[in-house]
Structures are given as structure tokens and as C-alpha cells.
Amino acid sequence: MTTTRPDDRRDLDQHLRRTLAAVAATVPEQPPVSAQAATKPPRRRWRLLVGVGAAVAAVPLAAAAVVGFGPEHVDRIPPSDPIVSGSLDGERWWIVDGRDVPRCEGHPSGIEVIAEDGNIVGQEWNTVGYFFGEPTAGGCAPRSTNATPDYSYWSDGGQVVGDGMLWVGALHPEVDQVRVAIGGDEPFEAKTFEHEGGTYYAVEVPAGTATFVVDYLVDGEVVVPPPGESAEHVMPPG
């Protein structure tokens, strides 16, 4: 298993730029929404941490988007009817149904993550969207995917919540287990949830964690990462 070291950040930055280029096509015409980076300056405003390995990697959905959710401005917190919710380092977060974009009618809407510390009532929404598969030319989620599990690497990502990180992923249909090891702790199986026929998971990475490992398994075997990818993720400096 390869390890993502601080020295590898150049590759991660390049990966992030490629992802954000794909993201640009997914954002509907509306007032611009800032990419949900860390809300605290020491984190260099890293809201998405890219790069993974031994079974996943990258940003939501092969090119999940950083988008606005709901109306232009935050109208209520907490959001109504969240799919999953939690609290990390004293900050609440919610996973909700993704936005319905008119041009993407008939396509899955995926999910969106709302972090309390980046979404203040009256200000613009800052959310991160996830869905599985390569986006269509119009920036929509694919209706189905024939990609191999290798492409799981393009379907997850992290966002800072408090001083911790919420790592979320959309799973390839063949992936049947997500194994996570935080720091030097024993690995555990991440809980998953279903939405629109897709399978997702969310893992809270506590503040003070240096690295964590996320492996995807198919029939008990870890999916081998593509060259240059790693299952070990490095937390941004605090």
C-alpha cells in the first residue's frame, strides 16, 4: 500500500485542480458559491482533501460538485428531513437529498453534505455534493455506470468540520465493504446508507488525527488503487 506523504501534495493539488475543472460544469447558473474549504485559516481553506488508495480516493463522485443547496441563502439550520446527521468536534453536520436541477431531470440527484460552521442563516449556502460515476456532458449524475471498482477512487472526499474531518463516499455497486483505520486504531467497517438506489457512507475523523486509511473491498478483497493513489489520507495541518 502506498502512503500519501506531505511531499506528495503537488500530486494532490494537481488531482484537485482536475476535479474542480469537472466541477465547474456541474454548477447551475446562480450566484457563485465559494468552494467549501476549511473555515479556519490554518487549514489553508482545504474543504476537499483529495487522494486515497487501496480502495478509494478523490472527490465525491468522480467529480462531485461543490454547489449551493436550496435557495441562494441559508434559510434554516438544521435542514429539514436529513438522511444522516451527526456532530464532530462540537460542530453539527447533515447529509440531505441532493438538489433537483431541471437539466438533470431523470438522473440521480445524489446527496449533499451541510456543515454547520460553514452555513450561517442569511449567508450563501456552502455544501458538498456526492454521486457515483463520471458526470455527463451536462454535469449530471449518470443514470448508471459500467465502470470498474477502480473508479471508486473518484467517488469520495473529505471536508473539515470543526477541527476534524467528515469523509464521505459514494460506492461502486460491486463494493460491499468499506474498512477504515483512524490513526493507529484497529480497523472497523464503516456503516453505509442507501439513497436513490445508491450506497453511501460517512466517517467522522476526530481532531488531532494525523492520518487515516480507507479501503474498499469486493468479496473480501481490497480493491487495488491505481498508480499514484493511496488508501492512506493525510489530515491537513491544524
pTM: 0.70
Helix/strand/coil percentages in the chain, nearest 5: 15, 30, 55
Residue 238 has what pLDDT?
Answer: 65
Taking every pair of C-alpha atoms in the chain, what is the biggest distance, in angstroms?
Answer: 47
Domain ranges across the chain: 6-26+41-234
Distance of CA 60 to the CA centre of its chain: 4
Q: What is the mean pLDDT of residues 44-52?
A: 26
Give the pLDDT confidence of 58-112 residue by residue, as tens digits: 333 233 333 444 457 888 889 888 999 999 999 999 999 988 888 888 898 899 9
84-88/164-170 β-pairing: unpaired
39 confidence band (pLDDT: 50, 70, 90) = very low
